[in-house]
Amino acid sequence: MQGSVKYTYPADGFYGPFGGAFIPELLQPCVEELRSQYLSIMAEPSFLHQFEALLKDYVGRPTPLYYAHRLSKHYQSHIYLKREDLCHTGAHKVNNTIGQILVAQRLGKQRIIAETGAGQHGVATATVCALMGLECIVYMGEKDIVRQAPNVQRMKMLGAEVRPASSGSKTLKDATNEAIRDWINNPSDTHYIIGSVVGPHPYPDMVSRFQSVISQEILWQLKEKTGNENPTRIIACVGGGSNAAGAYFHYLERESVELISVEAGGMGVHSGKTAATSQIGTQGVIHGSMTLLMQTKDGQIVEPHSISAGLDYPGIGPMHAHLIQSKRAKVVAIEDDHAVKAAFLMAKLEGIIPALESSHALAALDELELKPNDINVINLSGRGDKDLNTFMNHTRHE
Protein backbone atom coordinates (compact mmCIF):
# COMPACT_ATOMS: atom_id res chain seq x y z
CA MET A 1 0.00 0.00 0.00
CA GLN A 2 2.89 2.37 0.77
CA GLY A 3 4.65 1.57 -2.53
CA SER A 4 8.42 1.53 -2.33
CA VAL A 5 8.56 3.27 1.05
CA LYS A 6 11.14 1.38 3.09
CA TYR A 7 11.39 3.09 6.44
CA THR A 8 8.53 5.51 7.07
CA TYR A 9 5.54 3.28 7.82
CA PRO A 10 5.24 -0.10 9.47
CA ALA A 11 3.86 -2.98 7.40
CA ASP A 12 1.32 -4.95 9.42
CA GLY A 13 2.65 -3.18 12.49
CA PHE A 14 6.30 -4.12 11.85
CA TYR A 15 9.34 -2.08 10.82
CA GLY A 16 11.40 -4.90 9.35
CA PRO A 17 11.63 -7.42 12.22
CA PHE A 18 10.78 -4.78 14.84
CA GLY A 19 7.51 -3.54 16.28
CA GLY A 20 4.26 -5.49 16.40
CA ALA A 21 1.92 -5.66 19.36
CA PHE A 22 3.18 -8.23 21.89
CA ILE A 23 0.40 -7.57 24.35
CA PRO A 24 -1.73 -9.63 26.69
CA GLU A 25 -5.22 -10.48 25.48
CA LEU A 26 -6.45 -8.19 28.27
CA LEU A 27 -5.05 -5.20 26.42
CA GLN A 28 -6.41 -6.21 23.01
CA PRO A 29 -9.73 -4.31 23.23
CA CYS A 30 -7.96 -1.00 23.99
CA VAL A 31 -5.23 -1.36 21.41
CA GLU A 32 -7.55 -2.78 18.74
CA GLU A 33 -10.00 0.09 19.15
CA LEU A 34 -7.16 2.54 18.57
CA ARG A 35 -5.53 0.53 15.77
CA SER A 36 -8.72 0.19 13.79
CA GLN A 37 -9.53 3.92 13.99
CA TYR A 38 -6.41 6.05 14.27
CA LEU A 39 -5.77 6.46 10.56
CA SER A 40 -9.33 7.35 9.67
CA ILE A 41 -9.59 9.80 12.60
CA MET A 42 -6.31 11.45 11.61
CA ALA A 43 -7.58 11.87 8.05
CA GLU A 44 -10.85 13.62 9.05
CA PRO A 45 -10.90 17.24 7.85
CA SER A 46 -12.23 18.44 11.23
CA PHE A 47 -9.35 16.66 12.98
CA LEU A 48 -6.73 18.12 10.65
CA HIS A 49 -8.18 21.58 11.01
CA GLN A 50 -8.22 21.44 14.82
CA PHE A 51 -4.75 19.87 15.02
CA GLU A 52 -3.22 22.51 12.78
CA ALA A 53 -4.98 25.38 14.53
CA LEU A 54 -3.78 24.23 17.95
CA LEU A 55 -0.22 23.67 16.75
CA LYS A 56 -0.22 27.20 15.39
CA ASP A 57 -2.01 29.21 18.05
CA TYR A 58 -1.43 27.16 21.19
CA VAL A 59 1.93 25.45 20.66
CA GLY A 60 3.40 28.31 18.62
CA ARG A 61 4.27 26.53 15.37
CA PRO A 62 6.00 26.70 13.03
CA THR A 63 9.04 26.72 15.28
CA PRO A 64 11.95 28.64 13.76
CA LEU A 65 14.81 27.02 11.88
CA TYR A 66 17.61 29.20 13.14
CA TYR A 67 21.03 29.57 11.54
CA ALA A 68 23.46 29.44 14.48
CA HIS A 69 26.19 31.86 13.34
CA ARG A 70 28.68 31.61 16.15
CA LEU A 71 28.24 27.86 16.58
CA SER A 72 28.74 27.44 12.81
CA LYS A 73 31.89 29.48 13.00
CA HIS A 74 33.11 27.44 15.95
CA TYR A 75 32.63 24.17 14.08
CA GLN A 76 33.56 25.55 10.63
CA SER A 77 30.37 24.07 9.17
CA HIS A 78 26.79 25.33 8.67
CA ILE A 79 24.57 24.59 11.63
CA TYR A 80 20.82 25.10 11.76
CA LEU A 81 18.84 24.58 14.94
CA LYS A 82 15.24 23.40 14.74
CA ARG A 83 13.81 25.27 17.70
CA GLU A 84 11.45 22.74 19.34
CA ASP A 85 12.57 24.31 22.61
CA LEU A 86 10.24 27.20 21.74
CA CYS A 87 7.13 24.99 21.77
CA HIS A 88 4.66 25.67 24.58
CA THR A 89 5.76 23.62 27.63
CA GLY A 90 9.36 23.74 26.38
CA ALA A 91 9.79 20.63 24.26
CA HIS A 92 8.55 18.74 21.20
CA LYS A 93 6.52 16.40 23.43
CA VAL A 94 3.42 18.61 23.13
CA ASN A 95 3.08 17.96 19.34
CA ASN A 96 2.18 14.39 20.23
CA THR A 97 -0.06 15.10 23.22
CA ILE A 98 -2.13 17.59 21.20
CA GLY A 99 -2.62 14.97 18.49
CA GLN A 100 -3.47 12.18 20.90
CA ILE A 101 -5.93 14.19 22.99
CA LEU A 102 -7.87 14.95 19.80
CA VAL A 103 -7.90 11.24 18.95
CA ALA A 104 -9.02 10.42 22.51
CA GLN A 105 -11.92 12.86 22.24
CA ARG A 106 -13.06 11.31 18.99
CA LEU A 107 -12.92 7.86 20.60
CA GLY A 108 -15.22 9.21 23.33
CA LYS A 109 -12.69 8.86 26.17
CA GLN A 110 -13.02 11.00 29.30
CA ARG A 111 -10.01 9.82 31.25
CA ILE A 112 -6.38 10.20 30.17
CA ILE A 113 -3.41 8.31 31.57
CA ALA A 114 0.27 8.78 30.79
CA GLU A 115 3.72 7.69 31.95
CA THR A 116 6.57 10.07 32.54
CA GLY A 117 10.25 9.90 33.43
CA ALA A 118 11.66 13.43 33.57
CA GLY A 119 8.17 14.82 33.75
CA GLN A 120 8.27 16.55 30.33
CA HIS A 121 5.73 14.23 28.74
CA GLY A 122 3.69 14.30 31.96
CA VAL A 123 3.57 18.09 31.84
CA ALA A 124 2.68 18.06 28.12
CA THR A 125 -0.14 15.60 28.85
CA ALA A 126 -1.42 17.50 31.89
CA THR A 127 -1.40 20.64 29.74
CA VAL A 128 -3.62 19.26 26.98
CA CYS A 129 -5.95 17.64 29.53
CA ALA A 130 -6.41 21.03 31.18
CA LEU A 131 -7.00 22.53 27.73
CA MET A 132 -9.74 20.00 26.96
CA GLY A 133 -11.13 19.58 30.47
CA LEU A 134 -10.31 15.87 30.75
CA GLU A 135 -9.27 13.93 33.85
CA CYS A 136 -5.52 13.26 33.86
CA ILE A 137 -3.50 10.67 35.76
CA VAL A 138 0.25 10.55 35.28
CA TYR A 139 2.26 7.54 36.44
CA MET A 140 5.77 8.40 37.56
CA GLY A 141 8.42 6.25 39.22
CA GLU A 142 8.80 6.92 42.94
CA LYS A 143 12.46 7.71 42.40
CA ASP A 144 11.71 10.16 39.58
CA ILE A 145 9.10 11.96 41.68
CA VAL A 146 11.91 12.86 44.07
CA ARG A 147 14.46 13.65 41.31
CA GLN A 148 12.10 15.81 39.22
CA ALA A 149 10.14 17.70 41.89
CA PRO A 150 9.53 20.93 39.87
CA ASN A 151 7.77 19.04 37.07
CA VAL A 152 5.64 17.22 39.65
CA GLN A 153 4.51 20.63 40.91
CA ARG A 154 3.76 21.78 37.38
CA MET A 155 1.59 18.73 36.68
CA LYS A 156 -0.31 19.25 39.93
CA MET A 157 -0.87 22.93 39.19
CA LEU A 158 -2.27 21.87 35.80
CA GLY A 159 -4.79 19.70 37.62
CA ALA A 160 -3.26 16.27 37.03
CA GLU A 161 -2.98 13.52 39.61
CA VAL A 162 0.58 12.17 39.84
CA ARG A 163 0.56 8.50 40.87
CA PRO A 164 3.79 7.00 42.14
CA ALA A 165 4.90 3.77 40.44
CA SER A 166 6.36 1.76 43.28
CA SER A 167 6.92 -1.53 41.46
CA GLY A 168 10.17 -2.87 40.03
CA SER A 169 12.94 -0.30 39.83
CA LYS A 170 10.52 2.60 40.49
CA THR A 171 11.49 4.55 37.36
CA LEU A 172 10.20 5.19 33.81
CA LYS A 173 9.86 1.57 32.70
CA ASP A 174 7.80 0.81 35.80
CA ALA A 175 5.66 3.92 35.32
CA THR A 176 4.97 2.58 31.81
CA ASN A 177 4.04 -0.85 33.21
CA GLU A 178 1.66 0.80 35.70
CA ALA A 179 0.02 2.91 33.01
CA ILE A 180 -0.50 -0.21 30.87
CA ARG A 181 -2.04 -2.05 33.86
CA ASP A 182 -4.32 0.92 34.51
CA TRP A 183 -5.48 0.74 30.89
CA ILE A 184 -6.17 -3.00 31.20
CA ASN A 185 -8.33 -2.28 34.23
CA ASN A 186 -10.16 0.69 32.63
CA PRO A 187 -10.60 -0.17 28.97
CA SER A 188 -13.80 1.65 28.12
CA ASP A 189 -13.40 5.24 29.33
CA THR A 190 -9.59 5.66 29.22
CA HIS A 191 -7.02 6.60 26.59
CA TYR A 192 -3.32 6.05 27.23
CA ILE A 193 -1.13 8.83 25.81
CA ILE A 194 2.29 7.24 25.31
CA GLY A 195 5.09 9.80 25.24
CA SER A 196 7.37 8.44 22.55
CA VAL A 197 7.51 6.22 19.46
CA VAL A 198 7.46 3.12 21.68
CA GLY A 199 4.85 0.61 22.84
CA PRO A 200 2.62 -1.70 20.81
CA HIS A 201 1.50 -0.91 17.27
CA PRO A 202 -0.10 1.55 16.40
CA TYR A 203 1.67 3.84 18.88
CA PRO A 204 5.07 4.10 17.16
CA ASP A 205 3.37 4.97 13.87
CA MET A 206 0.80 7.34 15.37
CA VAL A 207 3.35 9.25 17.44
CA SER A 208 5.75 9.48 14.44
CA ARG A 209 2.98 10.97 12.35
CA PHE A 210 2.17 13.59 15.00
CA GLN A 211 5.84 14.50 15.38
CA SER A 212 6.39 14.53 11.59
CA VAL A 213 5.35 18.18 11.60
CA ILE A 214 8.97 18.89 12.60
CA SER A 215 10.47 17.63 9.32
CA GLN A 216 7.53 18.95 7.32
CA GLU A 217 8.58 22.43 8.45
CA ILE A 218 12.30 21.77 7.98
CA LEU A 219 11.59 20.97 4.30
CA TRP A 220 10.29 24.42 3.39
CA GLN A 221 12.32 26.35 5.94
CA LEU A 222 15.57 24.95 4.63
CA LYS A 223 14.49 25.51 1.02
CA GLU A 224 13.71 29.13 1.91
CA LYS A 225 17.12 29.61 3.56
CA THR A 226 19.43 27.56 1.35
CA GLY A 227 17.48 26.91 -1.83
CA ASN A 228 17.55 23.20 -1.11
CA GLU A 229 15.14 21.10 0.97
CA ASN A 230 17.82 18.57 1.82
CA PRO A 231 20.51 19.11 4.43
CA THR A 232 23.69 17.03 4.55
CA ARG A 233 22.56 15.49 7.80
CA ILE A 234 19.97 15.66 10.55
CA ILE A 235 21.11 15.11 14.12
CA ALA A 236 18.72 14.22 16.94
CA CYS A 237 18.89 12.65 20.37
CA VAL A 238 17.09 9.35 20.90
CA GLY A 239 15.47 8.27 24.15
CA GLY A 240 12.43 6.43 22.87
CA GLY A 241 12.97 8.34 19.65
CA SER A 242 9.99 10.67 19.11
CA ASN A 243 11.83 13.91 18.39
CA ALA A 244 14.20 12.04 16.08
CA ALA A 245 11.31 10.31 14.32
CA GLY A 246 9.68 13.69 13.77
CA ALA A 247 12.85 15.34 12.49
CA TYR A 248 13.64 12.40 10.17
CA PHE A 249 10.14 11.52 8.95
CA HIS A 250 9.97 13.29 5.57
CA TYR A 251 13.64 12.55 4.90
CA LEU A 252 13.56 8.83 5.66
CA GLU A 253 13.27 7.81 2.03
CA ARG A 254 15.77 10.45 0.81
CA GLU A 255 18.79 8.33 1.43
CA SER A 256 21.30 11.05 0.54
CA VAL A 257 20.37 12.82 3.78
CA GLU A 258 22.40 11.36 6.65
CA LEU A 259 20.53 10.61 9.86
CA ILE A 260 22.55 10.76 13.08
CA SER A 261 20.85 9.23 16.13
CA VAL A 262 22.47 10.28 19.38
CA GLU A 263 22.12 8.01 22.37
CA ALA A 264 23.05 8.67 25.97
CA GLY A 265 26.40 7.05 26.70
CA GLY A 266 26.00 7.76 30.41
CA MET A 267 29.31 7.16 32.19
CA GLY A 268 30.57 5.20 29.16
CA VAL A 269 28.96 2.69 26.81
CA HIS A 270 30.67 -0.25 28.53
CA SER A 271 30.66 1.16 32.07
CA GLY A 272 27.45 -0.59 33.13
CA LYS A 273 25.97 2.88 33.62
CA THR A 274 24.65 3.81 30.21
CA ALA A 275 21.52 4.21 28.12
CA ALA A 276 23.20 3.45 24.77
CA THR A 277 20.44 1.00 23.96
CA SER A 278 21.32 0.20 20.37
CA GLN A 279 24.97 -0.50 21.17
CA ILE A 280 24.67 -2.72 24.21
CA GLY A 281 21.07 -3.80 23.72
CA THR A 282 19.81 -6.95 22.03
CA GLN A 283 16.59 -7.84 20.27
CA GLY A 284 13.66 -8.55 22.53
CA VAL A 285 10.23 -7.42 23.70
CA ILE A 286 9.61 -4.42 25.93
CA HIS A 287 6.30 -2.64 26.54
CA GLY A 288 4.57 -4.63 23.82
CA SER A 289 7.09 -4.06 21.05
CA MET A 290 9.88 -6.12 19.50
CA THR A 291 12.91 -3.89 19.48
CA LEU A 292 16.43 -3.43 20.83
CA LEU A 293 16.60 -3.24 24.60
CA MET A 294 19.00 -3.46 27.50
CA GLN A 295 18.52 -6.80 29.19
CA THR A 296 20.29 -9.62 30.99
CA LYS A 297 20.93 -12.88 29.17
CA ASP A 298 17.82 -14.20 30.98
CA GLY A 299 15.72 -11.47 29.38
CA GLN A 300 15.16 -9.39 32.52
CA ILE A 301 15.10 -5.70 31.70
CA VAL A 302 18.13 -3.73 32.92
CA GLU A 303 17.91 -0.24 34.41
CA PRO A 304 19.70 2.30 32.21
CA HIS A 305 21.67 5.33 33.35
CA SER A 306 21.88 8.79 31.83
CA ILE A 307 22.37 12.23 33.34
CA SER A 308 19.33 13.16 31.28
CA ALA A 309 16.09 11.66 32.57
CA GLY A 310 14.48 11.90 29.12
CA LEU A 311 17.08 9.56 27.59
CA ASP A 312 17.05 7.17 30.54
CA TYR A 313 14.99 4.41 28.86
CA PRO A 314 16.11 0.77 28.39
CA GLY A 315 14.47 0.42 24.98
CA ILE A 316 14.24 2.34 21.71
CA GLY A 317 11.34 2.79 19.31
CA PRO A 318 11.04 -0.05 16.76
CA MET A 319 11.41 2.38 13.84
CA HIS A 320 14.82 3.36 15.17
CA ALA A 321 15.86 -0.23 15.76
CA HIS A 322 15.07 -0.81 12.08
CA LEU A 323 16.83 2.37 10.89
CA ILE A 324 19.94 1.46 12.85
CA GLN A 325 20.01 -2.20 11.92
CA SER A 326 19.50 -1.45 8.23
CA LYS A 327 22.22 1.24 8.51
CA ARG A 328 19.90 4.00 7.35
CA ALA A 329 20.74 5.87 10.57
CA LYS A 330 24.14 6.13 12.20
CA VAL A 331 24.46 6.00 15.99
CA VAL A 332 26.67 8.18 18.16
CA ALA A 333 26.88 7.76 21.95
CA ILE A 334 27.58 10.85 24.05
CA GLU A 335 28.65 10.64 27.68
CA ASP A 336 27.18 12.69 30.53
CA ASP A 337 30.08 15.14 30.91
CA HIS A 338 30.29 15.77 27.19
CA ALA A 339 26.58 16.63 27.00
CA VAL A 340 26.93 19.13 29.84
CA LYS A 341 29.92 20.77 28.12
CA ALA A 342 27.94 21.09 24.90
CA ALA A 343 25.13 22.80 26.78
CA PHE A 344 27.53 25.42 28.18
CA LEU A 345 29.08 26.00 24.76
CA MET A 346 25.66 26.57 23.23
CA ALA A 347 24.58 28.88 26.06
CA LYS A 348 27.68 31.03 25.65
CA LEU A 349 27.82 31.08 21.86
CA GLU A 350 24.14 31.38 21.03
CA GLY A 351 22.33 32.51 24.16
CA ILE A 352 20.23 29.34 24.21
CA ILE A 353 20.16 26.95 27.17
CA PRO A 354 19.31 23.53 25.71
CA ALA A 355 17.65 20.62 27.49
CA LEU A 356 20.11 17.96 28.64
CA GLU A 357 18.55 15.54 26.13
CA SER A 358 19.11 17.95 23.24
CA SER A 359 22.63 18.69 24.52
CA HIS A 360 23.55 15.13 23.54
CA ALA A 361 22.65 15.94 19.92
CA LEU A 362 24.79 19.10 20.07
CA ALA A 363 27.76 17.23 21.50
CA ALA A 364 27.64 14.84 18.54
CA LEU A 365 29.07 17.67 16.41
CA ASP A 366 32.42 16.88 18.05
CA GLU A 367 32.22 13.27 16.90
CA LEU A 368 31.43 13.87 13.22
CA GLU A 369 33.64 14.82 10.32
CA LEU A 370 32.11 18.14 9.37
CA LYS A 371 33.00 19.80 6.07
CA PRO A 372 32.78 23.57 5.54
CA ASN A 373 29.93 23.31 3.05
CA ASP A 374 27.89 20.77 5.00
CA ILE A 375 24.42 21.75 6.12
CA ASN A 376 23.77 20.27 9.58
CA VAL A 377 20.29 20.41 11.08
CA ILE A 378 20.15 19.73 14.80
CA ASN A 379 16.80 19.07 16.36
CA LEU A 380 16.86 21.17 19.51
CA SER A 381 14.14 19.10 21.17
CA GLY A 382 13.74 21.12 24.36
CA ARG A 383 14.91 23.94 26.56
CA GLY A 384 17.10 23.53 29.60
CA ASP A 385 15.27 25.39 32.38
CA LYS A 386 14.29 22.05 33.90
CA ASP A 387 17.96 21.00 34.00
CA LEU A 388 19.48 24.03 35.71
CA ASN A 389 20.12 22.15 38.95
CA THR A 390 21.93 19.38 37.13
CA PHE A 391 24.02 21.86 35.15
CA MET A 392 25.01 23.75 38.31
CA ASN A 393 25.77 20.65 40.39
CA HIS A 394 27.81 19.20 37.59
CA THR A 395 30.05 22.23 37.17
CA ARG A 396 30.53 22.55 40.92
CA HIS A 397 32.08 19.08 40.92
CA GLU A 398 34.53 19.86 38.13
Ligand X SMILES: Cc1ncc(COP(=O)(O)O)c(C=O)c1O
**Sole binder of ligand X in the list 13, 357, 363, 365 (CB under 6 A):** 357
304 near ligand X, judged by CB under 6 A: no
Cβ-based nearer residue to other proteins, 228 or 300: 300
239 near ligand X, judged by CB under 6 A: yes
151 near ligand X, judged by CB under 6 A: no
Binding mask 339-368 for other proteins (x = CB under 8 A): ------------------------------
Catalytic position from the list 215, 242, 306, 381: 381
Binding mask 126-165 for other proteins (x = CB under 8 A): ----------------------------------------
40 makes contact, choosing from other proteins, ligand X, none, with CB < 5 to 8 Å by partner type, with none
190 near ligand X, judged by CB under 6 A: no
Catalytic position from the list 77, 82, 109, 115: 115
C-beta separation of 278 from 263 below 8 A? yes
The verdict on whether 225 is a catalytic residue reads no
The verdict on whether 73 is a catalytic residue reads no
Catalytic position from the list 82, 93, 109, 173: 93
119 near other proteins, judged by CB under 8 A: no
Binding stretches for other proteins (CB under 8 A)? 20-29, 167-168, 173-174, 177, 180-181, 184-185, 187, 282-288, 295, 297-301
**Active site residues per annotation:** 93, 115, 381
